[in-house]
Amino acid sequence: MNDKTFALLEFEIIRARVAERALSEEASGLITGDVPRTDPDGVASLKAVVSELTALIGSVTGEPRTSIPSIGFLLPKLAVDGAVLELDEAYALGLFVDRAEEVRLWLTGKKTDSGGEGESGGRTAPLSRPELSPVLAELAAELPDCRPVSREVFRVLTRDGDLRDLPEFREIRKRIHNLNRDLDALGSRYTGREEYRRMLQSGLPSQRDGRMVLAVKANFRGRIKGIVHEVSSSGQTLFIEPEDVVEKNNEILIEQRRLDAEILKVLREMTAVIARERDSLAVLHEKLLNLETLRARARYSHETRGVFAAGDGRMDSPLVLKQARHPLLGIKAVPIDLSMPGGVRTVIITGPNTGGKTVTLKTVGLFALMNQFGLALPAEEGTKLPVFDGVYADIGDEQSISQSLSTFSAHMTNIASITDQATADSLVLLDELGSGTDPEEGSAIAMAILDYLIEKQVRILTTTHHGILKNYGYTREGVENASVEFDGKTLSPTYRIAMGIPGESRALDIAARNGLRPDITAKARSYLDEERSDISALISGLKYKHRELDDVLEAGKAEEKRLREERRQADLKELRLRQKELDLKNNSMGTVNRFLSESRKTLENLVREIKEGELTREKTLKVKEFLAGLEESAAAQAAELEAQQEQLRKDRKELETPGDGGQNQIPAIAPGMEVLAGEFKRRGTVLRQDKKGTWIVEIGSLKMGFPEGDLIPVQPREEEKKVSVASLDLADTAQAQFEISLRGMRLEEALRALQRQIDAAALSGLYEFSVVHGKGDGILQKGVHDFLRRQPMVADYYFSRPELGGFGRTEVVLKRG
């Protein structure tokens, strides 16, 4: 396998799509540089892991999808004695460890208790999920526990990446705060007094090199004594540091240097603690990136809803594609069925242009590469693929002007390389073999190439227009013909592959359909008829028989589906009836029990009264009244039970009514109905009634009349659900930007702009963007982070890397789906 084959089969696009689903830039790079495996055991192991991860993604919610920082460049730095990590570097390490812990907990079916300190400090509780598989348990066990690194990082830093207010800094920061307050008071002495205000260009002090200065008009230069730091370009303004401010600025500078030294000391101690875990971090980095490449494969497989190809990897195992759809064609892809049993090493596909021969070759080749890359395939269960030691392709127009090669020469150069490299464990795809030169010589070369490759036991798929190669397929053991079908009535291909039957090029039909003059096509037919044998008629008859058989099978499947639905409906009726009878019995039993309980209590009270005293007329009347009431209640209960039984009989009659709205009845022919029409049972759509007993049916691009007795209703083909999306008025909606700058804005104005950006990004599908807020005093930075923390649409946010802006720029990640 080589890059040329990857490009011809468009595997590079699939690989890039997988890489996009990785949450780590480093893992994405590993995927982009990876190639399909070629050993059967390696492929089986890779697919087993990806399959388990795909099943886990599909069955369990809560998969961690936060981005994973890149730390590979930091590991060598930890090996240097005395090295000190920058704040953003330490923050990246802490986040990396936390993200690894999130993935480990997800694999093992646990979650971090909300009462804990965070990813690395909270208790864990089990998730509701299937039993952990040995494969996933092994993946989780490979991740070393580096939570001490995370705890040390976030002892010094907050979860937002800011430096914590540690006791070591508190006194110095308090003194700096007091000095700044005194400095502000000194500045107010100048800006607040009338005698000085007229000398100043601005009513507020300025900053130059971290020192407070006053913007003094040039003509008042001598009125305020101090150090001149700068002169405006016009010369009209002097930036002067007054003498009484100089000392205060100096004190602030000294304290700031003390604070910087203390911060450096804390960072050095933190780095030393982290460096002790360097070996574990290196292992965690390697294992997590490998796991992330597997998760990206699983995420792609889950989103494409594919199936993993079966097969034991042996080259004598069959190659079977069932309803295979080329992944880059989307909804335009026509499902392909192809079968190469173990004894068939070569398939020769013939048929008209635009019939799907090349797409078939590309689909088989791309599926082989995807299978050995550990991906699920867009096909149905039952798809089987061997493991090839190489996939080689010669597809498309290989003409090279720069190398002075014709199309035929370029093809021969490529095929010569393939014949040298291919082995018995290889897959070779040859498009239009023998074309581009004299037909007789091209056919001879094509057969010689096939002879050589067949002798080497290479698995081959080739397409051709040469008629002699159709006979070649019948005379060679292990070679089978196949064709792409062509509808003779609509003069268009059906894109279905018929195994065992060669196809016709149908060049004259296609030429006539595309506008070639009738007299020219008629002349061509006369030339062709002079030397045509009955093979073409035989092929045509076989194709019609195959199509008729397919239609019969399709009608049988539709009938079987209808019968299964009727049986299901009958089972549902019986189930509902039994449930209703059970409910009725339970309700009746409850009522009788309550009635007996109440009657028993009443009777017991009457008996007790009689025993406790002499028998009187009043007591006798009470007993008679009780018995009469008991009789009336029993009659009422009987009447209610009779009413419920009557309702049950009505419900039973309604449920047992056949049809359920006509489902079990043969529907009458009506416009819009799909039917099998005519002698060959071609599928079409009823347009309208022509006359009594006759209907107009559209088959492909033809409209034909059929007697009603020749029409068989069938189930309509299942179509993809179309989602109706309400139209959005985007006239007033801001356009999402990859980077939004909030510098110079007031906090309230900046947050409004950020809210508009989040809404617009969510609408346009932009899930990651940057916010430039600058550093300054940190007010805008803190406000932006507080705002993002409260947004339900925001999945994650973090400072940019130093070369991209560091603490002055924040990366925002929105939730998907």
Task: Using DSSP bridges, classify how beta strands 426-430 and 390-394 pair: parallel, antiparallel or unpaired.
Answer: parallel
Ligand-binding site membership of 226 (annotated): no
374 is in an annotated binding site: no
355 is in an annotated binding site: yes
Q: Does the annotation list 242 as a binding residue?
A: no
Assigned token pair, 664: 């079990």
The DSSP-derived string for 180-235 is HHHHHHHHHHHHSSHHHHTTBS-SS-EEETTEEEEEEEGGGGGGS-EEEEEE-TTS
Select from 670, 682, 663 the least CA-distant residue to 570: 663
The DSSP output letter for 804 is G
User: Edge to edge, what strands does the sheet with 768-772 contain?
Assistant: 739-741, 768-772, 809-814, 794-799
Cα 52 versus chain centre, distance: 16
Q: Is 774 annotated as a binding residue?
A: no
| Residue 346 known to bind ligand | no
In 3D, which of 499, 440, 436, 485 has the Cα closest to residue 467? 440
Cβ contact 686:556 at 8 Å: no
Contact status, residue 190 vs residue 226, Cβ threshold 8 Å: no
To which residue do tokens 């492929």 refer? 43
144 is in an annotated binding site: no
Looking at residue 347, the DSSP 8-state letter turns out to be: E
Which of 665, 659, 669, 661 has its CA nearest to residue 713? 669
Residue with tokens 């295979």: 324
Cβ burial of 515 (10 Å; 0-12, 13-18, 19+) is exposed
- Could you please report the per-residue DSSP string of 117-185? SSTTTS-EEE-S-SPPPHHHHHHHHTS---HHHHHHHHHHB-TTSPBP--HHHHHHHHHHHHHHHHHHH
Give the containing element (helix H, strand E) for 606. Answer: helix 535-612
What is the DSSP pairing of strand 682-691 with strand 694-699? Answer: antiparallel
CB atoms within 10 A of CB 63: 15
How many residues appear in the chain? 817
Question: Does residue 703 have a known ligand-binding role?
Answer: no
Please report, in range form, the residues annotated as the binding site: 351-358
- Indicate the annotated binding residues for ATP: 351-358
